[in-house]
DNA sequence: AGTGCTACCGACAAATCTGTCGACAGCGGG
DNA sequence: CCCGCTGTCGACAGATTTGTCGGTAGCACT
């Protein structure tokens, strides 16, 4: 409402023109933020366009249709999640407290929206396991390491057991990122990020105690 | 298209009239089915009305607005979930393999849509922990039982540890109900309900082994 | 049977969303 | 300097959805 009486005609509004790549990137950034917040079914072209600083026909120009935009943002997000997870897992190769570090890194990668995206997509029926998370590779790596540490006399741990442990960790981290704080507070652990942090460390110790059973 | 040339006017279509309670119940049933499938944000008055066999103004007549319908169906679903969980937990009071039975019952209660509802609501930002799940009571009961079984010489288990165990079980069951099969298959465990069943039994053994540590 | 209450519905209104169309405008190449 | 290419936008159309309104009709009670 700062316009004076004289402002009969709005200034022609300088138009910004980016190359297609950059424009698509900006739109995808805005779309991913909305995807985290409201899920794939709640995406609206106008919201995304406004957040990206363009008009909604521009979004359609770049992605063809709403469905095309959803496909593009989901695909990019899943690739990014996969890359982050691989990086989080492979980067923690130090021998000491390996699992602690790995869980912490994975949690950091999932927090901030990516766990929410995975759950949104799983609930909405989008295929999320196929190209997204290569759990099988993680299981193989973990199992090889586990075998190399196995005790002499004890029975060799099975790959099935390792796989189930990895699945449990994944479930706990993904779901914990969304409803962990609520559950912790509801269970009587006074809330806040400290409770979440403590829970994750406790989880790491539990899993480690299971994987690395003490020798006799 | 079986109507002959003479069928100028459709027969006045006998109108069924139920009391308000029954009608609300039928509409809520249809709405809950949609809630499981598409989440709270995806509910459409026309879909629900058609599934319930009424017209959409009838739905508005009973619930005032779309928002009123969502509130009603969410409230009813959360109460039902809570009742089912309490029943599943309190019903398994046999001493032998208590945890196995309890997890199996809880899984059955969560499967068939209720785990999906919890996750939908958590993602959509609806408060789900408040009146819904009384985790604190579960923790108290489990901890009391655990203390009564504790070994003589070993350090007493803390309530914090019991609470974290309960939270982990909840996370695994709720998330596992939605993306468990996908993850299990993705981890190399050939899929099907047998893998899910095996995972849950394994989880029960793991949790039991943690709660009931062997006496020296 | 007559009457009152209200569950129920058809039709319409307003808002919103996706998608189309023509035009404008910035940018590189002639 | 002019021109084609294309990223961008305003305006509109069609579809969908929520909500309103007046009227209809089933059920209970007298």
Chain A residues near residue B189 by CB distance under 8 angstroms: 160, 163-164, 167
pLDDT digits (tens, 9 = 90+) for A102-118: 888 899 999 989 999 99
Tell me, yes or no, if B210 comes closer than 8 A to chain A by beta carbon: yes
Instruction: Please give the protein residue whose CA is closest to the C1' of the nucleotide C20.
Output: A57
Task: Please state the rounded mean pLDDT for residues B67-73.
Answer: 98
Chain B residues near residue A163 by CB distance under 8 angstroms: 184, 187-189
From CA A125, how far away is CA A128, in angstroms rounded?
8
Q: Which one of A183, A210, A213 would you mutate to disrupt binding with B, by most B Cβ within 10 Å of its Cβ?
A: A183
Q: Please tell me the predicted confidence (pLDDT) of residue B9.
A: 45
Instruction: Please give the protein residue whose CA is closest to the C1' of the nucleotide D8.
Output: A58
Chain B residues near residue A160 by CB distance under 8 angstroms: 189, 198
In this complex, the answer to whether residue B93 has its CB under 7 A from any atom of chain D, a nucleic strand, is no
From CA B36, how far away is CA B117, in angstroms rounded?
5
CB A169 within 8 A of CB A154: no
H helix runs in chain B, sequence order: 20-38, 45-52, 56-63, 66-91, 98-110, 114-124, 135-149, 159-186, 193-211
Protein-contacted bases of chain C (C-beta within 7 A) = 6-11, 16-22, 25-27
Tell me, yes or no, if B38 comes closer than 8 A to chain A by beta carbon: yes
From CA B183, how far away is CA B118, in angstroms rounded?
19
Does the beta-carbon distance from A179 to B139 stay under 8 Å? no
Q: Please tell me the predicted confidence (pLDDT) of residue A41.
A: 97
Residue B160 has pLDDT above 80, yes or no: yes
Q: Please tell me the predicted confidence (pLDDT) of residue A2.
A: 41
pLDDT digits (tens, 9 = 90+) for B115-149: 999 999 999 999 887 644 678 888 888 888 888 77
Through-space separation of residue B66 CA and nucleotide C15 C1' in angstroms: 15
Which nucleotide is at minimal CA–C1' distance from A55?
D9
Residue in chain A closest to B170 (alpha carbons) equals: A183
Q: What average pLDDT is seen over chain B? A: 86
Task: Please state the rounded mean pLDDT for residues B184-209.
Answer: 90
Alpha-carbon distances, residue A113 vs A104, A186, B133 (angstroms) = 16, 22, 24
Which nucleotide is at minimal CA–C1' distance from B58?
C8
H helix runs in chain A, sequence order: 20-38, 45-52, 56-63, 66-91, 98-110, 114-124, 135-149, 159-186, 193-211
Q: Please tell me the predicted confidence (pLDDT) of residue A166.
A: 93
CB B128 within 8 A of CB A179: yes
Does the beta-carbon distance from A164 to B199 stay under 8 Å? yes
Q: What angle (nearest 5°) sits at the alpha carbon of residue A181, between those of residues A180 and A187?
A: 85
Does the beta-carbon distance from B39 to A41 stay under 8 Å? yes
Pick the CATH number of B20-211 from 3.40.50.150, 3.40.50.300, 1.10.357.10, 1.20.1070.10: 1.10.357.10
* Residue B93 pLDDT grade (very low, low, confident, very high; cuts 50, 70, 90): low
pLDDT lower than 70: segments of chain A = 1-13, 92-97, 130-133, 216
From CA B216, how far away is CA B213, in angstroms rounded?
8
Tell me, yes or no, if A197 comes closer than 8 A to chain B by beta carbon: no
CB A38 within 8 A of CB A116: no
Give CB contacts under 8 A, 24+ apart, made by A124-131.
A124/A39, A124/A40, A124/A41, A124/B38, A124/B39, A126/A40, A126/A74, A128/A78, A128/B179, A128/B182, A129/B179, A129/B182, A129/B183, A129/B185, A129/B186, A131/A78, A131/A79, A131/A82
Q: Please tell me the predicted confidence (pLDDT) of residue A12.
A: 59
Through-space separation of residue B20 CA and nucleotide D26 C1' in angstroms: 13
Q: Please tell me the predicted confidence (pLDDT) of residue B95.
A: 55
Chain B residues near residue A118 by CB distance under 8 angstroms: 179
> Could you state, in order of their start, the residue ranges of all structural domains in chain B?
20-211
Q: Which two tokens stand for residue B37?
A: 């499938």
Residue B5 has pLDDT above 80, yes or no: no
From CA B205, how far away is CA B60, in angstroms rounded?
49
Nearest C-alpha neighbor of B89 from the set B111, B72, B107: B107
Burial class for A43, CB neighbours closer than 10 Å (0-12, 13-18, 19+): middle
Does the beta-carbon distance from B38 to A41 stay under 8 Å? yes
Q: Please tell me the predicted confidence (pLDDT) of residue A50.
A: 97
Interchain CB contacts (distance < 8 Å): A and B = 155
> Residue B139: which residues within 8 A CB-CB, separation 6 or more?
A187, A188, B159, B162, B163, B166
Chain B residues near residue A178 by CB distance under 8 angstroms: 119, 122-123
Q: Please tell me the predicted confidence (pLDDT) of residue B1.
A: 41
Residue B81 has pLDDT above 60, yes or no: yes
- Terminal CA-to-CA distance of chain A, rounded, Å? 78
């Amino acid at each position: 409402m700062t316009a004076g009486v004289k402002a009969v005609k709005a200034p022609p509004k300088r138009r910004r023109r980016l190359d297609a790549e950059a424009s698509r990137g900006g739109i995808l950034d805005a779309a991913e933020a909305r995807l985290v917040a409201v899920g794939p079914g709640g995406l609206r072209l106008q919201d995304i366009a406004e957040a990206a600083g363009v008009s909604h026909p521009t979004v359609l120009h770049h992605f063809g249709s709403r469905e095309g935009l959803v496909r593009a943002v989901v695909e990019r997000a899943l690739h990014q999640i996969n890359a982050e997870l691989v990086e989080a897992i492979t980067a923690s190769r130090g021998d000491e407290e390996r699992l602690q570090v790995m869980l912490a890194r994975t949690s950091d990668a999932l927090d901030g929206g990516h766990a929410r995206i995975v759950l949104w997509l799983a609930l909405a029926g989008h295929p999320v396991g196929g190209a997204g998370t290569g759990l099988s590779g993680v299981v193989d790596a973990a199992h090889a390491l586990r075998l190399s540490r196995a005790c002499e006399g004890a029975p060799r741990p099975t790959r099935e057991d390792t796989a189930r442990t990895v699945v449990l960790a994944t479930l706990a981290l993904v779901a914990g990122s969304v409803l962990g704080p609520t559950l912790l507070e509801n269970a009587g652990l006074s809330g806040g990020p400290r409770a979440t942090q403590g829970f994750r460390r406790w989880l790491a110790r539990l899993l480690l105690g299971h994987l690395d059973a003490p020798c006799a």
